[in-house]
Amino acid sequence: MDASVTAKKTGTDARAEALVASYERAGYARVAPAILQPAEPFLDLSGEDIRKRMYLTTAPGGGEFCLRPDLTIPVSRDYLASAQAGKPAGFCYLGPVFRHRSDAAAEFLQAGIESFGRPDKAAADAEMLSLGLDATAGYGLTAPDIRTGDVSLFAALVAGLELPPAWKRRLIKDFNRKTNLAQDLDRLVLGGNNARPEYQGVLAALAGADPKGAHALITDLLSIAGINAVGGRSVAEIADRFLEQSALGASAKLPREVRGLVERFLGVQGDPDEALAALRALATEANMTAVLAPALELFESRNGFLAARGIDLKRVHFSTGFGRGFDYYTGFVFELTDPARTGDPLVAGGRYDGLLARLGASEPIAAVGFAVWIERLAAYGASS
């Protein structure tokens, strides 16, 4: 059945159907995850932007569900429940997602790809960007702006700092929230602990307690109080955040010169080759070459695979401070936008190697993918 016939039957754009058909020919199996999904994975893992725009409902038995706000988590959950779990596998999709939007319809179409279990990470990253560029080309945009970053570089830098584990987790978590990250660094320069005095004893006791026992205690207290969720956060996440505060209350201090290093690191940008050279120079200057070497080697390898796919690296803008609004990204991230307009991406995605373990996999599984905003591309095609 050709793309135009399929499009008429499904109510989708024929170009979108043709796009997904091309992904199937590239070896990605087409899937259609359930629209109604358990809410907890999205509440825990997606990030603030998605969390506050979700459509939630409660089942008669008390379980909380949502209309899927994206397709990465649903495809990941279905993969983990299949016989392919843990093995290399790739999937593509085209279907509606649901998010509150004040200026547009809450239901809109996304196409995309999710790739699991590939050990050749640099090549897989490059393939995602290349296939994303195919999507814009299919709608007539042959030279979109290409913006990229790599969360793993910042994670490697933080791993090399002399800070307690809770503070390292906090800095990485706030990577996408630049105001929060600046406040974290301010707090560390001043000495770390700024908890309210009346909380100090409780936080100190929890910081020294067995983590599982402390988590169970807080969860029980919230349940006794009748609290199921606050601000879109589950009870488990509220407990996690409270325990994190107890750990962050421990004394920690970051020298001002180290803060300066972090800020210089986050200021590196340019095309990927220029950025790589700048990061290597900074790593040498800060005596952090060994700490940053694996992430920089992956960066260099990815650059080679991008060039091999015919992508002109001079067209790619890389920034160490660039991230996306989803908390589960752990490595390479990218966005493709219309150079004639500003604002929302047409195609975006990246690497999320830690997500499947957080969804229940017994060990981390390499994962990378991207989403295509069909309505935005269709609008571009209509106006070009």
Tens digits of residue pLDDT in 339-355: 987 678 999 999 999 99
Is-contact 313 306, C-beta < 8 A?
yes
pLDDT band at 157; cut points 50, 70, 90:
very high
pLDDT tens-digit series, residues 133-144: 999 999 999 999
pTM score of the predicted model: 0.83
% of the chain with per-residue pLDDT over 70: 80
Q: Which residue has the higher pLDDT, 1 or 267?
A: 267
**Whole-number pLDDT of residue 52:** 86
pLDDT band at 375; cut points 50, 70, 90:
very high
Q: Compute the mean pLDDT over every residue in the chain, rounded to the nearest whole number.
A: 86
Is residue 111 over pLDDT 50? yes
* E strand or H helix that includes residue 148: strand 145-150
Max Cα distance, the chain (Å): 68
Averaged pLDDT, 92-107: 94
**Whole-number pLDDT of residue 33:** 98
% of the chain with per-residue pLDDT over 90: 61
pLDDT band at 196; cut points 50, 70, 90:
very low
Is residue 6 over pLDDT 70? no
- How far, in Å, CA of 332 to CA of 323, rounded? 9
Helix axes 165-173, 235-248, angle to 10 degrees: 120
pLDDT tens-digit series, residues 32-46: 999 999 999 998 887
Averaged pLDDT, 372-381: 88
* Encoded tokens for 321: 């401070």
pLDDT band at 197; cut points 50, 70, 90:
very low
- Among 95-104, 170-179, 295-304, the range with the most confident prediction by mean pLDDT is 295-304
**Whole-number pLDDT of residue 255:** 85
Residue 17, C-beta contacts closer than 8 angstroms, at least 6 positions apart = 3, 4, 6, 7, 10, 94
In SS3 terms, 110-123 reads as EEEEEEECCCCHHH
**Whole-number pLDDT of residue 200:** 52
pLDDT band at 159; cut points 50, 70, 90:
very high
Is residue 92 over pLDDT 80? yes
**Whole-number pLDDT of residue 340:** 86
Q: What CATH topology corresponds to 3-156+265-383? A: BirA Bifunctional Protein; domain 2 (3.30.930)
pLDDT band at 213; cut points 50, 70, 90:
low
Is residue 103 over pLDDT 90? no
- Where are the domains positioned within the chain? 3-156+265-383, 162-248
